[in-house]
Structure 1
Amino acid sequence: MNLKRFFGGLLTVLGIVGLIYTAVIFASTSGETKEIKSLLIYGILGIVFFMSGISLVRTTKDE
């Protein structure tokens, strides 16, 4: 099993979880500054993890 491909899959799953959590926070937000900050933090981290995981899986060659 290729370690890079496993790590890419793990990053992708963490990114999806972060984006889902961002959607949950967005659905229940009332507009307070603390909620907006957490929304931005989790959303940006989710996007970064998701994109890096996808690119790692895509660029890793099977041996």
Structure 2
Amino acid sequence: MNLKRIFGALLTTLGIAGLIYTAVLFAQTSGEMNDIKGLVIYGILGIVFFLSGISLIRTTKDES
């Protein structure tokens, strides 16, 4: 059981969830300033979590 791979998968899942939530907010937005701030914040956090999780999974070596 590799803890880094599990943490990478968790970060990737959180990133995907953040990006999906951003898409849902984008579909329901009316263009107000608060809507745009939420889109930017959740979008950036989703991208950061997703990319860090993917890179953590990629760089972790399989050792038995």
Range of TM-score over shorter length: over 0.9
Tell me the secondary structure at the aligned position of residue 61 of structure 1: coil
For structure 1, the 5+ residue unaligned runs are none
Specify the alignment match of 2:35 in structure 1: 35
**What is the aligned length?**
63
Show structure 1 runs of 4+ deviating over 6 A.
none
Shift, 1:60, TM fit: 0.2
Specify the alignment match of 2:15 in structure 1: 15
- Identity, in percent, stands at 79
